[in-house]
A and B are shown apart, each in its own frame.
Chain A
Amino acid sequence: MLKMQKSTRKTVSTYALVIVAFVVVQGLAMSGNISATLRGQLVPICAYVVMAISLNLTVGVLGELSLGHASFMSVGAFSGVVACISLQNMIAFGPVRLVVGMVIGALCAGIAGFLIGVPVLRLNGDYLAIVTLAFGEIIKNLITCLCVGVDSRGLRFSFLTSADALKLEEGGRVIINGPMGIAGIPKLSTFTTGFVLVLVTLFIVMNLVKSRSGRAIMAIRDNRIAAESVGIPITKYKLMAFVTSAALAGAAGTLYAMNFSTIVATKFNFNTSILILVYVVLGGLGNIRGSVIAATVITILPEMLRGFNDYRMLVYAIVLIIVMLTTNNARFKTILSRLIPSKKATGEGRQP
């Protein structure tokens, strides 16, 4: 263990953290020792963890600011749910249907990421932030105007009209009903599927970061001109990171949507994008394990603060400010590294 490379040790500890957390919580849940509140939050936590890890790939590893990550979640959520509902008769086994839904959600979100990535990532500067911000609004408004139904002839689409325009046959079903979103989603997501998705995400992102491509991506972040001068194709590697990030967000969106009986497009708005960015910033840019912890803590936090009644959002904000201040405080870091000796090694390895 001691002879392990620093980066390997970090990777192992991240996997260990996630697996131990899963085993402990699952054990408690089996024996009925966790509250209904926490049990209800397990799947959203998994979805947010995946969102945070995937955004960290764009913001921390690639060094491009994205303000529309929730829109990829939205694309994944809506396409994944449509897939799951329309495949109801073909695939009877729930978990398989969910996985198919996630793959389709990831594909659609990946395609969306590719489409905006191609023109924007060629530019040099903060354009991605502005374009993703706009993309988030566009997706929200498009889905609000979209109706999708399914009947024996297959999927039917209509745009800017009501669900009547779908002209569904007898026995057909309206899936996306414009602003009303999707109602009556079968609840297929479980904590186990969420956990598997988190592991898959960790595997993809950590291997990408450690690979040759990952080093090229980080070289672009650290010094674009130097990277270009040694012959790294900038746009290709930027796209690789961005599309991977979008696709993982899509899968997380499907997982999230399949946990609630209803979703509406307005849920995935600018605020949700910022919330995910907060996970990444709090966890540390480029720090995957930090993202996992931050996403979990910040998702649970508002529920823990219910005792404060009307003041809870105020307390929540104050807690966030305190965490931001202390984690960036040099003196606090020295105290922490004295308390936990191993922390020193990882603390230094953190990105600036």
Chain B
Amino acid sequence: MKKLLCILLAVMMLAALAACGDSGSANPSSAPAGEPSAAPAGEASAAPEAPAAAAFKIGGTGPLTGGAAIYGQAARNGAQIAVEEINALGDVQFELNYQDDEHDAEKAVNAYNTLKDWGMQISLGSVTSTPGVATSVENDADRIFAITPSASAVAVTEGKNNVFQMCFADPNQGSASAQYISDQQLGTKIAVIYKNDDVYSTGIYDTFRIKAAELGLDIVSSTTFTEDSQQDFSVQLADAKNNGADLIFLPMYYTPASLIFQQAKSMDYVTKYFGVDGMDGILTLEGFNKELAEGVILLTPFNADSTDERTVSFVEKYKSVYGEVPNQFAADGYDCIYAIYQAIKSGGATSDLSASDINDILVAQFTSMSFDGITGDDMTWSANGQVTKGPKGTVIENGSYVGLD
């Protein structure tokens, strides 16, 4: 009898969930399930009136659930804002569909195929690197144009002529960081802590090490951690301290970085920290004491405190819809949509063309055009898909990101 009751309850729960799920999935372009979706719908009231056939179908995969969810959600939200702005302009219509890939290559290919079934014409690739490598091969084989907001590994674009990156490739970030540290004379004895089972972290470290040697920066301590050992950093910090490092380079995402700050503080170790774009977002981490990140310098192409008119308008919109300050991933997502918009306008693509025709037009445009976005001015793309733009140094002051230059 008890078992029967259990089953009954489970079925009821399922039915209740099915009801929520349906209302969410009825509109695939609606942003997150939950409160925030109300606001943009009002703003972009022009969108639903446009005939469905006239909209370009843009699809992307990213981790919307799990440990890396914050990146996927940010990129999706940023892209969603851009889509609504462009739809409100009226000349080109976009329809955005983001699918969850759980930061896993197999799931990403599944998500990509789901989007293909939906009729995707233009792809935003994947948000993170490992899934990005897997889906970009599919993009290349299917001749569907892709520009990824933030999958930064070199292998994402290597050997494919229709996959582009909005973010810096990992090697560029590593050498740009070394260059920046040397130019600004932030330190000469450098300790590096990196995650050696992670593509992103190791990719940046490898090029940082080479560039640092060229520039005469001395790496006095180089220690590692893995997914399973990212709870305790006392050994790594002690090594940095004993070797007299005056700056710690942290090429990693912000979750482990937040623990490093905390543990350095508890062992009374005061030093300078230098992060890369994965550090962006640390201030919105739940339960994180913002004082710990005071003075951290990070190299990121986006600065939410910029007084640039477009950035201000984007940040305000993002805040009002999603209730937080956008990070670099959101800005990358936003720029991807605008770059596609610009290429469509100048290339004269129309939404009734097939994906491969649109692909040819966009590839021709992307390799020749220059794009001004909120993550950089005068961005250009080389034929191998990598972007050229200037990195911006940002420092955390009084609990917010402030531009250095």
B-contact 0/1 string along A259-274, CB 8 Å cutoff: 0111111110000000
Q: Does A196 count as interface, using CB distance less than 8 angstroms? A: no
User: In the complex, how many angstroms separate the beta carbon of A257 from the nearest chain B beta carbon?
Assistant: 10
User: By the criterion CB–CB under 8 Å, are B203 and A310 in contact?
Assistant: no
- Return chain B residues, CB-CB under 8 Å to A307: 21-22, 25
Spot the interface stretch: A81-89, A178-186, A339-347: A178-186
- The listed residue (A145, A260, A315, A321) touching B134 by CB distance below 8 A is A260
Complex alpha-carbon distance, A145 and B202, angstroms = 11
Q: Does A151 count as interface, using CB distance less than 8 angstroms? A: no
Complex alpha-carbon distance, A264 and B128, angstroms = 14
User: Which residues of B approach A to under 8 Å, CB–CB?
Assistant: 3, 6-7, 10-11, 13-14, 17-18, 20-22, 24-25, 32-33, 64-65, 99-100, 104-107, 109-114, 116-117, 130, 133-134, 136-137, 153, 155, 158-159, 195-199, 201-203, 206, 226-228
Complex alpha-carbon distance, A345 and B203, angstroms = 58
User: By the criterion CB–CB under 8 Å, are A144 and B197 in contact?
Assistant: yes
- The listed residue (A267, A306, A315) touching B105 by CB distance below 8 A is A267
Taking CB atoms and an 8 Å cut-off, the chain A residues in 273-312 that contact chain B are 302-303, 306-312
User: In the complex, how many angstroms separate the beta carbon of A177 from the nearest chain B beta carbon?
Assistant: 9
Q: Does A322 count as interface, using CB distance less than 8 angstroms? A: yes
- Return chain A residues, CB-CB under 8 Å to B107: 302
User: By the criterion CB–CB under 8 Å, are B25 and A137 in contact?
Assistant: no
Complex alpha-carbon distance, A310 and B73, angstroms = 11
- Return chain A residues, CB-CB under 8 Å to B64: 310
Complex alpha-carbon distance, A180 and B196, angstroms = 9
User: By the criterion CB–CB under 8 Å, are A144 and B228 in contact?
Assistant: no
B-contact 0/1 string along A319-331, CB 8 Å cutoff: 1011001100100
- Return chain B residues, CB-CB under 8 Å to A213: none
Q: Does A162 count as interface, using CB distance less than 8 angstroms? A: yes
11 contacts between A and B (CB under 8 A): A35-B113, A37-B116, A140-B197, A260-B134, A264-B130, A310-B24, A311-B24, A315-B18, A318-B13, A319-B14, A321-B10
Q: With A260-B105, A264-B199, A322-B10 in contact, do A309 and B21 touch (Cβ < 8 Å)?
A: yes
User: By the criterion CB–CB under 8 Å, are B110 and A40 in contact?
Assistant: yes
CB-CB nearest in chain B for A321: B10
- Return chain B residues, CB-CB under 8 Å to A265: 197
- Return chain A residues, CB-CB under 8 Å to B33: 309-311
Q: Which of A39, A41, A137, A180 has the most CB of B within 10 A?
A: A180
Extra contacts, 17 of them, besides A36-B116, A263-B105 (Cβ < 8 A), are A35-B117, A144-B196, A144-B226, A179-B199, A179-B202, A181-B199, A183-B158, A184-B158, A264-B199, A266-B197, A266-B227, A302-B110, A306-B111, A308-B18, A309-B33, A310-B24, A325-B3
Complex alpha-carbon distance, A183 and B10, angstroms = 43
- The listed residue (B112, B134, B198, B203) touching A262 by CB distance below 8 A is B134
Complex alpha-carbon distance, A162 and B22, angstroms = 49
Q: Which of A141, A162, A261, A265 has the most CB of B within 10 A?
A: A261
CB-CB nearest in chain A for B34: A310
User: In the complex, how many angstroms separate the beta carbon of B309 from the nearest chain A beta carbon?
Assistant: 34
User: By the criterion CB–CB under 8 Å, are B20 and A311 in contact?
Assistant: yes
User: By the criterion CB–CB under 8 Å, are B21 and A311 in contact?
Assistant: yes
Complex alpha-carbon distance, A300 and B18, angstroms = 18
Q: With A184-B158, A310-B32 in contact, do A37 and B105 touch (Cβ < 8 Å)?
A: no
Complex alpha-carbon distance, A28 and B399, angstroms = 58
- Return chain A residues, CB-CB under 8 Å to B202: 178-180
User: In the complex, how many angstroms separate the beta carbon of A176 from the nearest chain B beta carbon?
Assistant: 13
Complex alpha-carbon distance, A182 and B106, angstroms = 14
Q: With A137-B228, A306-B114 in contact, do A178 and B196 touch (Cβ < 8 Å)?
A: yes
User: By the criterion CB–CB under 8 Å, are A180 and B7 in contact?
Assistant: no
User: In the complex, how many angstroms separate the beta carbon of A241 from the nearest chain B beta carbon?
Assistant: 28
Complex alpha-carbon distance, A183 and B109, angstroms = 15
Q: Does A44 count as interface, using CB distance less than 8 angstroms? A: yes
Q: Does A230 count as interface, using CB distance less than 8 angstroms? A: no
B-contact 0/1 string along A93-105, CB 8 Å cutoff: 0000000000000
- The listed residue (B14, B65, B113, B196) touching A179 by CB distance below 8 A is B196
User: By the criterion CB–CB under 8 Å, are A311 and B17 in contact?
Assistant: yes
Pairs A-B, 4 closest by C-beta atoms: A308-B21, A183-B155, A261-B137, A40-B113
Q: Does A187 count as interface, using CB distance less than 8 angstroms? A: yes
Complex alpha-carbon distance, A184 and B285, angstroms = 35
- Return chain A residues, CB-CB under 8 Å to B25: 306-309
Complex alpha-carbon distance, A184 and B157, angstroms = 11
Q: Does A2 count as interface, using CB distance less than 8 angstroms? A: no
Complex alpha-carbon distance, A140 and B228, angstroms = 11
- Return chain A residues, CB-CB under 8 Å to B203: 180
- Return chain B residues, CB-CB under 8 Å to A39: 113
